[in-house]
Structure 1
Amino acid sequence: MSVTIDITGLPHERITFCPSPLAELGSALHTLAVPAHHPRLHAWTTTTTAALKPELADRLIEADFMWNNTRSDILLPPQPRETLAEELDDLDRMDDEKFVGSALEISCNSHYADGAPSPLVDERMRRRALDLAAARGPRQASFVERMLADPPGTRAWIRRLLEDCDEAFFADTWSRVRLQLAADARHKTELMRRKGLAEAVADASPAMSLEEDEQGSRIVIDKLVQGRASAEGSAVTFLPTAFGWPHLFALYTPGWQPVIQYPIPARDLGGAASVEAVKLRLEAVAHPMRMRLCRSLARGSSTTSELADAYNITAPEVSRHLAVLKKAGLIITQRRGRYVHHQLDVSVVARLGSDFLESVLR
């Protein structure tokens, strides 16, 4: 079984490799929703989940059918932009029928990929969407009812949710991965120019290949689904992702430009630390009192006097322990007026070991 994208006659200039902040946010949200799919990202998911405000976490659960089991087409933009805001603006220009049909495709519209009409204009598809949503529980049923009754209001709610995710965690993550994604896209583009599309496609994923014969040219994606699409008069966009492994997504829905999201080679999202830095960090957290201080500092910022009072030790003792943690790069210090606040850098601690991080956040 496979997904086949017909590119017969399509100029190579219309085949692009480019990162997308919206697509990467979709991948990150999927990772948070189904962390078991992404064991390599366990440290990132643990850190990010622990830092989410309860209100935002609750809203993510409400809308997670768009990125839980697979990915809604609206999260795979065919024309990537520089910023998430620009891509969200593009979504705002999409008509309601297309947006709602795509948003509900995964769990509430099983005939979507066959080109079925939107539930906004077809009563049978509307009833089917509501029935399928009801089978997944009252929260999803309520969300789908709201989307069908008030598409503009629900779309605005979704945009605010994605913007709040950007502010809460994704902007920082994107700043760390976008250069890596851009470098991979440039490499694939140069490979296509020098050695041809077949080399670039194979380099993106061993599960993809280019087939050429007298009948034309096709990109074939080895997946346990059957699907076909044509890029005639259109284009094909390849979106690299740092969060995607082991998934390889292909957008081949009728009426949409084909898009393929492929995982780039794995790399720690936090960057590599030297052996000496790791040694300092392990020694820093090995002390029982410093481990207890980390427990407080993981939950929020504290002053030296607050920590001394909480653990019934002197302020100079706290300062000595904080100095060790700071030298190891495990805490962030910030002055607020005449007070100095300290907080655990959970992204650094996560790379030391998720078991330790979970123990201080338990």
Structure 2
Amino acid sequence: MTIDIAGLPEEHIAFAPSPLAELCMALHALSQPAHHPGLASWTAATAAGLDPCLADRLLEGDFMWRSSFSDVFMAFAGIPGGTGRPSATLAEELDVLDKLDDERFVMAALEHCWLALYNEGGGPSPLTDARARARVLETAAARGPGRLEFSLRLLDDTAGVRVWMRRLLEDCDEAFFAETWRRIEPEQIADARHKTEVLRRRGLPAALQEVSAALSVDEARTTITVDKMLNGTATATDPETGSGLVFVPTHFGWPHLLVLHAPGWRPVVHYPVRNPGLPSPGSVELLQRRMEALAHPMRMLLCRSLARAPYTTSELATVLGITPPEVSRHLSALKKAGLLHTRRQGRYAQHQLDLGAVARIGPDFIEGVLR
């Protein structure tokens, strides 16, 4: 994914916590605890303490935070002429959400129904266009009766759903989030201040590396690239939307690294606060290269030997009954994927499989697809 920042003044790049965005991630962790094993004690205790009525209400709209992350939780980025930055309290951010016009609110809430169209510019609004409405309801119906019922409510009684959603989020705040936010907000404020200082003193490339190894910027400082299994573009210099780029830290987010890139919204990068106990994100390109290298049947046979002991090229050719040049080609693919250790012993080079690198492929794949 790319973010166009050509001509963006550095002072228009901000780091700031968002209580509403963090509430979204907390709700996601509750609905998908398998994504967040490090939060197991919090999710178990919080889920056990939820009032059954509140738990049932959360199920009505959980698609907005369960499998995708609705942009309504970053309403500050969708207000034309607004500050483009989060507010200090959940109540203030809910007030900003109330200012989001109905069309933007509905499009963002229905993102799960037409994700590609939404990210490409949306097309006609289902609030006013019969064909768009029919398409949304058809997609919602294919995802289950609950999605269809909610989508109908949203289209037919947008104001009522907005009141329902605000009350639901306020009840979540009272039930568990306010106490949680008091605990984690200082960490997020400190993280935002630190990265702001890095940006000021050492520049954007250093600040991006502080955010995540999955972020980079070109030498001309015109484009930020986010290493994700997803294609998308955003601009931080749209004159109609307003220029600016915000980085929002999250305690609950890992391994997700989110980029708000909807047309007409300012871009936002929602990044997990770095924890020494968490692995650094691996390159999606390297992961693909490793999986492709291991998928070849002959290389799998080579790995069977190389996992047990070091071998020379000639020894592997004898074991597998193929020519040394063929072995060399397969070893070259494994070496480019970073899966081999090679050491010289006299005139010979001995090769052995890097078991640690192979063992990381599973976790790297999970982290990559969830990122």
- After TM superposition, the score normalised by the length of structure 2 is 0.69
In 1, Cα distance between the equivalents of 2:125 and 2:249?
30
What is the aligned partner in structure 2 of residue 38 from structure 1?
Answer: 36
SS state of the match for residue 113, structure 2? helix
Distance 1:40 1:217, change over 3 A: same
Equivalence map 1:133-152=2 (5 Å): 133-152=140-159
Paired residue for 2:258?
249
Following superposition of structure 1 onto structure 2, how do residues 326-341 of structure 1 map, counting pairs within 5 Å?
Answer: none
Distance of aligned partners of 1:267 and 1:20 in 2 relative to their CA distance in 1, 3 Å threshold: farther
CA distance in 2, matches of 1:244, 1:166: 18
Contact in 2 for aligned 1:235/1:257 (Cα 8 Å) = yes
Aligned to 1:86: 92
1:20 and 1:61 mapped to 2: Cα distance?
A: 23
Q: Secondary structure at the match of 1:246?
A: coil
Among 110, 113, 121, the alignment partner of 2:119 is 113
Aligned match of 2:323: none
1:187 Cα deviation from its structure 2 partner: 0.4
Q: In structure 2, give the amino acid aligned to 1:224.
A: M
How far apart are the structure 2 equivalents of 1:131 and 1:51? Answer: 36
1:196 to 183, 199, 203: 203
Cα distance per residue 1:141-199 (max 9 Å; x no partner): 11110000010110110110100000000000000000000000000000000000111
CA contact (8 A) 1:231 1:257 kept: yes
- Quick check: 1:132 aligned with 2:139? yes
Deviations 1:286-345 (A, max 9, x none): xxxxxxxxxxxxxxxxxxxxxxxxxxxxxxxxxxxxxxxxxxxxxxxxxxxxxxxxxxxx
User: C-alpha distance in 1, partners of 2:185/2:252?
Assistant: 12
1:264 aligns with 2:270: no
Distance 1:265 1:42 in 2: 18
Judged with a 3 Å threshold, the aligned counterparts in structure 2 of structure 1 residues 52 and 267 are, in CA distance, closer, same or farther, namely farther
Aligned to 2:178: 171
Q: Deviations over 1:231-285 (max 9, x none)?
A: 11410000000000000000011100000100012389xxxxxxxxxxxxxxxxx
Alignment match, 2:293: none
TM-fit CA distance, 1:118: 2.4
Identical positions, percent? 55
How big is the shift at 1:121? 2.2
Displaced runs of 4 or more, over 4 A: none
Give the aligned residue type for 1:113. Answer: N
Could you tell me which amino acid in structure 1 is paired with residue 271 of structure 2?
A: Y
Aligned position for 1:12: 10
Aligned residues of 2:211 and 2:274 also touching (Cα < 8 A): no
Asked if the contact 1:109/1:128 (under 8 Å) is kept, the reply is no
Structure 1 residue aligned with 2:109: 103
Tell me which of 152, 156, 164 is aligned to 1:157.
164
Instruction: Name the amino acid aligned to 1:33.
Output: S
SS of 1:191's equivalent? Answer: helix
| Cα deviations by residue, 1:24-69 (Å, 9 ceiling, x for unpaired) | 0000011111111111101100000000011100111110111111
Contact 1:205 1:262 in 2 (8 A): yes
Structure 1 gap segments, 5+ residues each:
269-362
Cα distance in 2 between the residues matched to 1:75 and 1:113: 16
Residue 227 of structure 1 aligns with which residue? 232
Q: Distance in 1 between matches of 2:197 and 2:275?
A: 21
**CA distance in 2 between partners of 1:109 and 1:150 (Å):** 22
Q: Please state how far the C-alpha of 1:109 moved relative to its aligned partner.
A: 4.8
State the AA in 2 paired with 1:91.
L
Displacement of 1:122 after TM fit?
2.3
The answer to whether the Cα contact below 8 Å between 1:209 and 1:221 also exists between their aligned partners in 2 is: yes
State how far apart, in whole Å, the 2-side matches of 1:124 and 1:260 are.
33
Task: Number of aligned residue pairs: give it.
Answer: 264
With the length of structure 1 as denominator, give the TM-score of the two structures: 0.71
Question: What is the CA RMSD across the aligned residues, in angstroms?
Answer: 1.4
Q: What amino acid sits opposite 2:199 in the alignment?
A: M
Matched-pair contact (CA < 8 Å) for 1:181–1:242? yes
Please tell me the residue identity of whatever aligns with 1:223: K
Mean alpha-carbon deviation: is it higher for 227-236 or for 247-256?
A: 227-236
**What is the deviation of 1:108?**
4.7
Answer yes or no: is the 8 Å Cα contact 2:15–2:192 preserved in 1: yes
Give the secondary-structure state (helix, strand or coil) at the position aligned to 1:212: coil
Partner of 2:291: none
Asked if structure 2 preserves the Cα contact closer than 8 Å seen for 1:5 and 1:219, the reply is yes
